Structure 1
Amino acid sequence: MATNSTLSPEYLAESKTGLVTTMYAIPIALEALSTGWRLWASASAQSGFWFSFDDYLMLFATLVAMTVCVLGIVYGPPNGLGRHIEALSKHQVQQFLKGDYIFSHFYDIAIAFTKLSILALYYRIFVTRKFRLIVLGTACFVIVWVIVMEVTLGFGCRPIKAWWGEAKGKCINKEAFTYFTNVTNMVIDLWVFLMPIPVILGLQAAKEKRIILCLMFGVGLVVCAISAARLSFVFGVASADFTWNEASLGILSAWEPCCAILCANFPPIYRHLVIISEFLRAGVRNVTQWTVTQSRSAATGVSSDRHGGSKGKGEVQHHDWAKLNHSDAFTGETNRTVTEVSAQGPPSDAVEMDGMKVGGIMVERAFTQVSAQDVEAACSSRDIEEGKE
């Protein structure tokens, strides 16, 4: 489009392209890491590279979601997403609209297959017949929904080139269609993420465990918040300056599938996250204990020097156990490395430490320090007793 000479250079120079590019790039790494971790956990649990059906669905959804971000980077900022439309050429605007059309197809498929993966996970882990029938019914509805979205979008303009302005034709109301997509998508998300809550609350388990499970499966409600946020930016589709106003909508369109994937991958990798958390807490606890022990030892040594050296003979000083839990993130098995110090003698003397290997048996060793004078005195006592005999 021709640049309007009445607009200031500052206005025309305004740009969000750097932010848009960054916000499209970050989800790619998060999606790859999250799903890769999920597949790794699944393969480790089954002792081989065989995955569940929900894992394959999630892998496909992740690849499509990553494609969404790549399309956003390729067709978005280079063609004016995040800039005012008056600063763009006609060719740039057409390329942007063409990319937006392709982007929308992949977006619908990504969010649909993420939902199908979650439903497949429900079907696998919840064995109640009634609940499984509800899961299957919901899956059928999601499949019908994505087909309707794709067909409507595919024939959104006749001829299709009219969508990006290369030809004249008749098109659907893009703003109304975007609103409908967002509202129905948000309702389905609410239903899918709340589905297992009644089943979990009915389990014969401790209250704390049921609460944890509800939080684990209900974390996906964050995705609903993103869907709700997208609704506030749908106006950008019908705006005259849509390349500028659609920047926020485009960013949320990339992050919605990403957050859905992260939430869907959370239950399968939850055990690994707990193991890592316990390992880190144990490490911090041991560092703290070691620091406190060193401080006390130093303080005791200073006190001993001030009182004329070592303590009385035979006095025993015991050091507390220092334990470090090592968890195997591959198998979930927990082993222990145990170190104990138990010494007799002056605190200023050197103390030996014995570290056990992973999987070893807990062993306690006592080290005794005896001076040369003590040995001499013991020998003299023994000679006197033998002489009396």
Structure 2
Amino acid sequence: MYSSYSVAAAVCSCFFPAFAATAVATRFRARMVQKLKLGLDDWLILSALVFAFSYCCIVLYGSFRASIGQDLSTINPVDYTNYQKHLYFGVIIAHLSYGFVKLSVLQFYKRIFTTLAFRLWANAMFAFVCLFMLSATITQIFSAWPISNWWTLGKNYTINYGAFITSFAAIDLLLDVIILSMPLPVIRNLHVTTRKKILIMGIFWMGFFCVVATAVRLYFGYQLSLAGAGKPVSDDEFSYVSVNNIIWAEIESCCSVVAACLPTYGPIMRSLAMPSFMKTSIQSLLNSLKRKSTDRTSSSNTNVWFPLSDDRLKFTSVK
């Protein structure tokens, strides 16, 4: 018999990666509609999808073969070893998935915002995210030494592992908020109505749910750190916290991929049969942005936003 926690983890491992794969396929379809070559941001999001999919496969297999979601008091030493091995490699893969999504979003920003100051800021964030990914991965790999201590019953970590996963989730959350907020100053300076500015902000803030997912993962990571620090906790409660941390890591990795793809769907949306008032609103928005970008392309001191519907090769300032 499998616990309800194991079943929940297995269901999430099937649904969310399928959702993310559909989002990436739609993104690539939108590029084909625009007749644009795939850029670095597209390949980065594909890499993020591969890591998210791999993590979900580990959780899916572990739900039935490695006691993920089971009451830890009921498993034997062999099951414990399998359980810990799945967690060890799963955390590494999940960290890489989060990082590649952020890199894809930053690279996408650089394709549509052309001011020097913004590009410098995006490059600085890009470098910081790379360093953060590298440090998190190395820390996870060597969090126990020898590495086999990670899944050996009775052995300890070489670091305070609870503090590590909690601090990582907190920094990850902060980076998400910063990256989502980066376009706001540019959008604020657009010469369009407030209503249209809010609409544009809404497009870029579709990833806010990922911030919520990270915050929930931070909460469960903190609960795990308390249990690891010796706080009295029942086996069932520990199993509940542990599996929820795993599930919300799946949700965050897959939904982050989806959110990063949504702003690229302009050509697909225009090809759908929408009510006339929606078509009029979207077309008006794109026309306003097009006039803004056309009038200001030659100025290096002006914030420019290039509409996703236009072929970027028309603008010599976009590389």
Q: Return the TM-score normalized by structure 2.
A: 0.79
Q: Give the distance between the partners of 1:51 and 1:188, measured in 2 at CA.
A: 26
Q: Is the CA contact (8 Å cut-off) linking 1:159 and 1:167 kept in structure 2?
A: no
2:24 aligned residue:
35
1:335 aligned residue:
none
The count of corresponding residues between Structure 1 and Structure 2 is 269
2:180 aligned residue:
193
1:82 aligned residue:
69
**Cα 1:74–1:173 shift into 2, 3 Å:** same
Counterparts of 1:278-289 in structure 2, within 5 Å, are 279-281=273-275
Q: Is the CA contact (8 Å cut-off) linking 2:52 and 2:254 kept in structure 1?
A: yes
Q: 2:49 aligns with which of 62, 84, 90?
A: 62
Q: Give the distance between the partners of 2:54 and 2:176, measured in 1 at CA.
A: 22
**Cα 1:240–1:109 shift into 2, 3 Å:** farther
Q: Is the CA contact (8 Å cut-off) linking 2:66 and 2:86 kept in structure 1?
A: no
2:248 aligned residue:
252
Deviates more, 1:167-176 or 1:255-264: 167-176
Q: Give the distance between the partners of 1:184 and 1:92, measured in 2 at CA.
A: 32
Which secondary structure does the structure 2 equivalent of 1:151 belong to? helix
Deviates more, 1:180-189 or 1:230-239: 230-239
Q: Give the distance between the partners of 2:234 and 2:151, measured in 1 at CA.
A: 14
- Larger strand fraction of residues: 1
Q: Give the distance between the partners of 1:175 and 1:166, measured in 2 at CA.
A: 17
**Cα 1:72–1:139 shift into 2, 3 Å:** same
- Larger helix fraction of residues: 2
% same residue = 24
Q: Is the CA contact (8 Å cut-off) linking 2:30 and 2:267 kept in structure 1?
A: no
CA RMSD of aligned residues (A): 2.1
| Structure 1 position 221 matched with structure 2 position 208 | yes
5+ unaligned residues in a row in structure 1: which ranges?
1-11, 283-330, 333-389
Higher relative contact order, chain-length normalized (CA < 8 Å, sep 6+): 2
| Structure 1 position 236 matched with structure 2 position 232 | no
Code of the aligned partner of 2:6: T
Counterparts of 1:1-389 in structure 2, within 5 Å, are 14-46=3-35, 50-165=37-152, 168=155, 170-234=157-221, 235-236=223-224, 238=228, 241=235, 242-276=238-272, 279-281=273-275
5+ unaligned residues in a row in structure 2: which ranges?
277-308, 311-319
Code of the aligned partner of 1:253: A
**Cα 1:26–1:170 shift into 2, 3 Å:** closer
Compare CA radii of gyration and give the structure with the larger one.
1
Q: Give the distance between the partners of 2:215 and 2:83, measured in 1 at CA.
A: 25
Q: Give the distance between the partners of 2:161 and 2:258, measured in 1 at CA.
A: 29
Displacement after TM superposition at 1:78 (Å): 2.4
1:335-365 deviation line (CA, Å, top 9, x unaligned): xxxxxxxxxxxxxxxxxxxxxxxxxxxxxxx
Q: Is the CA contact (8 Å cut-off) linking 1:27 and 1:258 kept in structure 2?
A: yes
Displacement after TM superposition at 1:19 (Å): 1.4
Displacement after TM superposition at 1:274 (Å): 5.0
Q: Return the TM-score normalized by structure 1.
A: 0.65
Code of the aligned partner of 1:171: T
Q: Give the distance between the partners of 1:275 and 1:44, measured in 2 at CA.
A: 10
1:175-224 deviation line (CA, Å, top 9, x unaligned): 11110110000000000001101111111233332221111011212211
**Cα 1:42–1:122 shift into 2, 3 Å:** same
